[in-house]
């Protein structure tokens, strides 16, 4: 068997972080006419590099297969829209962005973030690989190029005059199979005194909060600050600041600059987080090897709850059809015998079935019609928003169930 190599440093990788078995692509929702067809399953086996500490999946499918026709539209989450708007207000003030500035967002989705810069008359360019999603952004008047980002795309954009004062990447870095090509592109596209901000789930939070369901094939890498700093340094980009965010169960927003740019000194919070990760064992292999047994225990607890509820004659529906829910349900083997259906606000998912487990997806109105005893919240990072939207469930004595970090019932 061919030895797998780390996508960051190139060292041989052999240590298991967690093995979630075989799973379908988490965003490949099944259309009604596809119900009786096979779907491909791939290993969801996560490794850790003992040299640079990057936690990673092997690549089984191409980014083109995953992202060219994508079912995730950012604008269907109110809290995510608010997060994007607050970011634009903060970053425009911090770096004095104006009508003479240029902002590039990589994986710009449906324009949910860039629309806030457009409203401020700041020139923008979105780089979005999913043609169907990019069309929605273009319909909003947002300048969008359909492409995968890397060295070649960066060179093309630079030749077109699109070097950037600010490059943004929210929840894209983890989706990149060729990390070094991607970061090389950032180096090329960034103006000499420009800044890069990237947001991604923080491995420290993933481990602390048992967020194994955020692992799926679209996420090739899982970053600590220690690991991501090494990726950027390899291409003469330095991380000078970092914010810890509540989004997606706990994320980092890193700030990068050219290594030779002396105008942005390293902040105390960047130094503090690095020291905290070292103290927490993120530079020791033994720490990473504790995660697998913890995940197995969570699977047993969730299945025990669902089976006991069904034996008592209780009905269970899901809320949401996020990728993380598909990882959770497939790993635990939960199908319609335990969760009858799920609902989602996105019309792009309604009428489809969850990959693998084939649980049907309806509109949220279905919950009012069937009045389930329990609503299993799959996008647990939006727990409070969803419980507020669905408060009427309590009218018939229904309760909410959150599976992560461990099973908890809310009356």
Sign of CA dihedral 160, 161, 162, 163: positive
Say if 254 falls within a structural domain: yes
Comparing CA positions, the residue from 275, 270, 106 lying closest to residue 197 is 106
**Cβ-contact 199, 252 below 8 angstroms:** yes
**290 in any annotated domain:** no
pLDDT reported for residue 381: 86
Tell which residue, 201, 196, 199, 165, has the closest CA to residue 183. 196
Q: Which domain, by its residues, includes 334?
A: 298-410
107 lies in the same domain as 238? yes
4 inside domain: no
Looking at the structure, tell me whether residues 257 and 200 fall in a common domain. yes
Strand residues in 82-123 grouped as ranges (E): 103-106
Assigned token pair, 84? 């994007």
pLDDT of residue 149: 96
Instruction: Specify whether 87 is located in the same domain as 185.
Output: yes
Residues 6+ apart with CB under 8 A from 103: 97, 114, 117, 122, 123, 124, 125, 164, 165, 166, 167, 168
Which ranges of the chain have pLDDT less than 50?
1, 68, 70-71
d(CA 98, CA 94): 11
Whether 27 maps to a domain, the answer reads: no
Q: Are residues 163 and 98 in the same domain?
A: yes
Residue 183 lies in a domain: yes
Question: 3-class DSSP state for residue 243?
Answer: strand
Q: Rounded to whole angstroms, how far apart are CA atoms 399 and 392?
A: 10
Instruction: Point out the domain boundary residue: 203, 236, 263.
Output: 263
185 and 314 fall within a common domain: no
Q: Are residues 165 and 304 in the same domain?
A: no
At residue 97, the pLDDT reads 98
* CATH, residue 123: 3.40.50.150
How many domains are there within the chain? Answer: 2
Pair (235, 307) in one structural domain: no
Residue 58: per-residue pLDDT:
86
Q: Is the domain of 258 the same as that of 360?
A: no
> What is the per-residue pLDDT for 1?
41
The dihedral formed by the CA atoms of 375, 381, 385 and 390, expressed in degrees to the nearest 10: -10
- The whole-angstrom separation of Cα 201 and Cα 244 is 10
Indicate whether 303 and 244 sit together in one domain.
Answer: no
- 327 close to 20: Cβ distance less than 8 angstroms: yes
Question: Considering the domain boundaries, does residue 145 fall inside one?
Answer: yes
The three-class DSSP label of residue 249 is: helix
- Of the residues 241, 263, 285, which one is the last residue of a structural domain? 263
Q: Which long-range contacts (CB under 8 A, 24 or more apart) does 37-42 make?
A: 39/355, 39/356, 41/356, 42/217
131 and 259, same domain (yes or no): yes
- pLDDT for the residue 65: 57
Is residue 402 in a domain? Answer: yes
* Final residue before a domain boundary, out of 263, 281, 314: 263
Inter-helix orientation angle 179-189/151-159, to 10° = 20
Q: Examine the domain organization and report whether 248 and 302 are in the same domain.
A: no
Give the domain CATH number at 402: 3.40.50.720
Is residue 196 in a domain? Answer: yes
Same domain, 333 and 236: no
């Amino acid at each position: 068997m061919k030895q797998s190599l780390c996508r960051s440093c190139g060292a041989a990788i052999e240590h298991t972080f967690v093995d979630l078995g075989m799973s379908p692509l988490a965003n490949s929702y099944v259309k009604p006419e596809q119900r009786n067809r096979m779907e491909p399953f791939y290993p969801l086996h996560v490794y850790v590099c003992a040299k640079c500490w990057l936690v990673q999946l092997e690549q089984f499918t191409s980014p083109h297969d995953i992202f060219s026709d994508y079912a995730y539209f950012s604008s269907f989450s109110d809290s995510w829209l608010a997060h994007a708007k607050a970011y634009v207000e903060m970053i425009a003030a911090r770096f004095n962005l104006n009508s003479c500035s240029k902002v590039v967002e990589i994986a710009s989705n449906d324009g949910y973030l860039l629309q806030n810069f457009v409203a401020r008359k700041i020139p923008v360019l979105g780089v979005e690989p999913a043609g169907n999603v990019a069309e929605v952004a273009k319909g909003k008047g947002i300048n969008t190029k359909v492409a995968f980002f890397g060295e070649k795309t960066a060179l093309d954009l630079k030749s077109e005059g699109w070097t950037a004062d600010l490059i943004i990447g929210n929840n894209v870095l983890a989706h990149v199979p060729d990390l070094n090509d991607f970061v090389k592109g950032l180096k090329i596209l960034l103006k000499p005194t420009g800044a890069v901000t990237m947001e991604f789930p923080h491995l420290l939070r993933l481990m602390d909060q048992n967020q194994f369901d955020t692992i799926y094939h679209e996420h090739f890498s899982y970053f600590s600050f220690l690991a991501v700093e090494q990726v950027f340094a390899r291409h003469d980009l330095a991380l000078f600041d970092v914010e810890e965010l509540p989004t997606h169960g706990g994320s980092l927003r890193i700030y990068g600059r050219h290594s030779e740019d002396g105008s942005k000194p390293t902040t105390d919070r960047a130094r503090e987080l690095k020291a905290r990760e070292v103290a927490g064992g993120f530079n020791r292999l033994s720490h990473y090897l504790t995660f697998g047994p913890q995940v197995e225990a969570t699977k047993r607890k969730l299945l025990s709850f669902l089976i006991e509820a069904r034996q008592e004659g209780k009905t269970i529906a899901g809320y949401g059809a996020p990728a993380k829910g598909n990882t959770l349900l497939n790993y635990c083997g939960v199908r319609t015998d335990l969760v009858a259906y799920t609902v989602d606000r996105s019309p792009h998912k309604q009428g489809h079935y969850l990959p693998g487990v084939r649980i049907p997806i309806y509109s949220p109105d279905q919950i009012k019609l069937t009045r389930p005893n329990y609503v299993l919240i799959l996008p647990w990072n939006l727990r409070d928003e969803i419980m507020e939207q669905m408060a009427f469930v309590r009218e018939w004595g229904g309760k909410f169930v959150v599976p992560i970090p461990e099973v908890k019932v809310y009356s």
